[in-house]
Amino acid sequence: MKIMSVVGARPNFMKISPIIRAIDSYNNQLNISEAAAGDKTSNLISHVLVHTGQHYDKAMSDSFFEDLKIPMPDISLGVGSGTHASQAAEIMKRFEPVLLDQQPDVMIVVGDVNSTAACALVAAKIDYDGTGRRPLIAHVEAGLRSFDRSMPEEINRIVTDHLSDLLFVTERSGIENLKREGVPEEKIFFVGNTMIDTLMASRELATRSNALGSLGLVAQNGGSAGMVLPYALLTLHRPSNVDNRETFLEVMSALQTVSEKMPVIFPVHPRTRKQIAAFRIGECIGLHYSAPVVPDGGGKVSMNGAGGIHITDPLGYLDFLCLMTHAKIVLTDSGGIQEETTCLGVPCVTIRENTERPVTVTNGTNMLCGLERQSIIDTVNLQLNRSKPGSGPELWDGNAASRIIAVIAGGR
Ligand code: UD1
């Protein structure tokens, strides 16, 4: 069997990494059992990795391949940035000949980025040989719904789910959403969360990160020398938060108030960096620019527990995981970070009106606060006094990827 997996943007990489490992261990198991039976290996899975190039900066792409030990892509489409339509169109144009050439039996797409939907659309209409033969489309992280169609990701989720043959779901809400939309039950598989597989496999490695020291978050003097100082960790990149000056300023003004209590560490996405400059946010909100996080701890700055909003470049996976693990609180508009903080038991405030991941609120450590200044401040205060860590969502146990490969290899 031949499987092709597609990645394109930063949140795809941690979802595909355990799937590639699960394919390797499936093949190893098969080799062992077939060798023991004196059988010739015939059912091995061959794997082809395609990178669309939606994200292309070292910090947004290459560093994740290094941190997560993902093999280099077999095929890179190099599409780069663009409007939604031009980016999706470029992906489709470049992906079609690759699919026709490779003719995989199964194509795996993950998450909800433009690359996910664009490649699913190509695969759904391809005809390998004039007989209508095409790959089975497997969507990992199916069924999530924010019920907010102004989010580009919601459109990508709906389109991808309705084109897919195998829908792998991370939480029970996904099953209900898909059934309500008429997706046949036999296509839906509740397997857990491959992003959490990666987190669990990486926690030990992340303890070796020098991010805390590099950012001056370790006390240098006195009785508490060596202890991690309290800090908040922030990410913001959704168009709904950063593409409108008034909204962006309202959110940042709340975060400035939060930063009077403790430093707010803010690794900025390229989109957000552009908007900070375009809207001259730094003229209204005090922003400090921190030296890059480097493995040897060079460029060390000491915050000595001082407040303020501290901007860094986007961080690698292991450095960010280290910072999430030790944060007093995480503030974000990302989808995946809501899940990761739930798994780590770290309080999370989601700066959005809705979430497509309700299990992080009902079972986890997440609270929604909307985009209003006072509501953001109040929710942060509530979360800082939170005592209950939340319980881990069902099947978020580090084994989602092997369940997915078992379903695919089992012929379903
Ligand atoms: C995309 C996903 C979003 C995901 C996010 C994670 C879609 C619709 N959105 O949003 O769901 O949460 O990735 O990061 O697919 N840029 C660079 N370097 C890069 C990549 C982007 O400078 O390596 C800049 C470009 O100016 C680009 C902008 O960032 O126009 C936005 O990139 P894009 O891929 O369009 O969307 P994201 O906001 O990153």
Mean pLDDT, all residues of the chain: 94
343-378 as b/e, with b when 16 or more CB fall inside 10 Å?
A: bbebbbbbbbeebbbbbbbebbbbbbbebebeebbe
Which residue minimizes the CA distance to atom 25 of ligand 1?
81
Q: In whole angstroms, what is the distance from residue 28 CA to residue 34 CA?
A: 10
Using alpha carbons, select from 362, 326, 324, 331 the residue that is nearest to residue 348: 331
Distances (CA, A) of 323 to 13, 113, 295, 316, 330: 19, 25, 14, 11, 9
Q: In whole angstroms, what is the distance from residue 62 CA to residue 147 CA?
A: 33
Q: How many CA atoms lie within 13 A of 158 on its CB side?
A: 13
Question: Looking at ligand 1, which atom is closest to the CA of residue 335?
Answer: 12
Q: In whole angstroms, what is the distance from residue 188 CA to residue 57 CA?
A: 35
Lowest mean pLDDT: which of 236-240, 287-291, 319-323, 346-350? 287-291
Token pair for 152: 């580009």
Residue 298: which pLDDT band, with cuts at 50, 70 and 90? very low
Which residue minimizes the CA distance to atom 19 of ligand 1?
55
Q: How far is the CA of 274 from the centre of ligand 1 (A)?
A: 12
Question: Looking at ligand 1, which atom is closest to the CA of residue 113?
Answer: 15
Q: Is the pLDDT of residue 299 over 50?
A: no
The type of residue at 222 is G
Collapse the DSSP code of 29 into the 3-class scheme (helix H, G, I; strand E, B; otherwise coil) and give the result. Answer: helix
Q: How far is the CA of 4 from the centre of ligand 1 (A)?
A: 23
Q: Is the pLDDT of residue 304 over 90?
A: no
Q: In whole angstroms, what is the distance from residue 163 CA to residue 139 CA?
A: 9
Collapse the DSSP code of 349 into the 3-class scheme (helix H, G, I; strand E, B; otherwise coil) and give the result. Answer: strand
Per-residue pLDDT tens digits for 9-63: 999 999 999 999 999 999 999 888 877 887 766 789 999 999 999 999 999 999 9
User: Is residue 248 within a helix (H) or strand (E), and if so which, with residue range?
Assistant: helix 245-258
Give me the numbers of helices (H) and strands (E) for the chain, helices first please: 16, 14
Token pair for 274: 């552009």
| pLDDT value of residue 100 | 98
Which residue minimizes the CA distance to atom 14 of ligand 1?
10
Question: Looking at ligand 1, which atom is closest to the CA of residue 334?
Answer: 12
Mean pLDDT (whole number) for 220-238: 91
CA angle, residues 47, 7, 87, in degrees to nearest 5: 135
Q: How many CB atoms lie within 10 A of CB 174?
A: 25
Q: Is the pLDDT of residue 300 over 60?
A: no
Phi-psi region of 132 (alpha: psi -120 to 50; beta: other; left: phi over 0): left
Per-residue pLDDT tens digits for 74-111: 999 999 999 999 999 999 999 999 999 999 999 999 99
Question: Looking at ligand 1, which atom is closest to the CA of residue 112?
Answer: 11
Which residue minimizes the CA distance to atom 30 of ligand 1?
81
Residue percentage of the chain with pLDDT more than 70: 95
| pLDDT value of residue 296 | 54
Residues with CB under 6 A from ligand 1: 9-11, 54-57, 60, 81, 112-114, 152-153, 237, 269-271, 334
The residue whose two tokens read 């409007």 is: 83
Using alpha carbons, select from 343, 293, 215 the residue that is nearest to residue 330: 343
| pLDDT value of residue 3 | 98
State CA 353 to chain mean position distance. 19
Which residue minimizes the CA distance to atom 17 of ligand 1?
270
| pLDDT value of residue 41 | 60
Per-residue pLDDT tens digits for 121-153: 999 999 999 999 999 999 999 999 999 999 999
Among 15, 92, 113, say which to mutate for ligand 1: greatest number of ligand atoms within 8 Å of CB: 113
Q: In whole angstroms, what is the distance from residue 198 CA to residue 154 CA?
A: 24
Q: Is the pLDDT of residue 249 over 60?
A: yes
Token pair for 56: 């292309």
Q: How many CB atoms lie within 10 A of CB 35?
A: 11
| pLDDT value of residue 50 | 98
| pLDDT value of residue 362 | 96
Using alpha carbons, select from 114, 15, 113, 3 the residue that is nearest to residue 64: 15
Per-residue pLDDT tens digits for 186-219: 999 999 999 999 999 999 999 999 999 999 999 8
- Which residue pairs from 298-303 have beta carbons closer than 8 angstroms and sit at least 24 positions apart in sequence? 298/214, 299/214, 300/213, 300/214, 300/216, 301/215, 301/216, 302/216, 302/220, 303/215, 303/216, 303/217, 303/229, 303/231, 303/263
Q: How far is the CA of 11 from the centre of ligand 1 (A)?
A: 10
Q: In whole angstroms, what is the distance from residue 177 CA to residue 157 CA?
A: 11
Phi first, then psi, for residue 7 (nearest 5°) are -125, 160
Per-residue pLDDT tens digits for 266-281: 999 999 999 999 999 9
Active-site choice (55, 237, 269, 310): 237
| pLDDT value of residue 303 | 62
Mean pLDDT (whole number) for 322-344: 97
Q: How far is the CA of 382 from the centre of ligand 1 (A)?
A: 31
On whether the CB atoms of residues 251 and 219 are closer than 8 A, the answer is no
Mean pLDDT (whole number) for 285-311: 71
| pLDDT value of residue 125 | 98
Is residue 237 annotated as part of the catalytic site, yes or no? Answer: yes
Q: How far is the CA of 300 from the centre of ligand 1 (A)?
A: 29
pTM of the model: 0.96
Mean pLDDT (whole number) for 229-237: 97
| pLDDT value of residue 294 | 61
Mean pLDDT (whole number) for 359-365: 96
Q: In whole angstroms, what is the distance from residue 37 CA to residue 32 CA?
A: 9
The residue whose two tokens read 């857990």 is: 192
Non-local (6+) Cβ contacts of 15 within 8 A are: 110, 111, 140, 141, 194, 195, 198
Residue percentage of the chain with pLDDT more than 90: 88
Mean pLDDT (whole number) for 335-352: 97
Among 81, 87, 236, say which to mutate for ligand 1: greatest number of ligand atoms within 8 Å of CB: 81
Q: In whole angstroms, what is the distance from residue 139 CA to residue 79 CA?
A: 22
| pLDDT value of residue 305 | 58
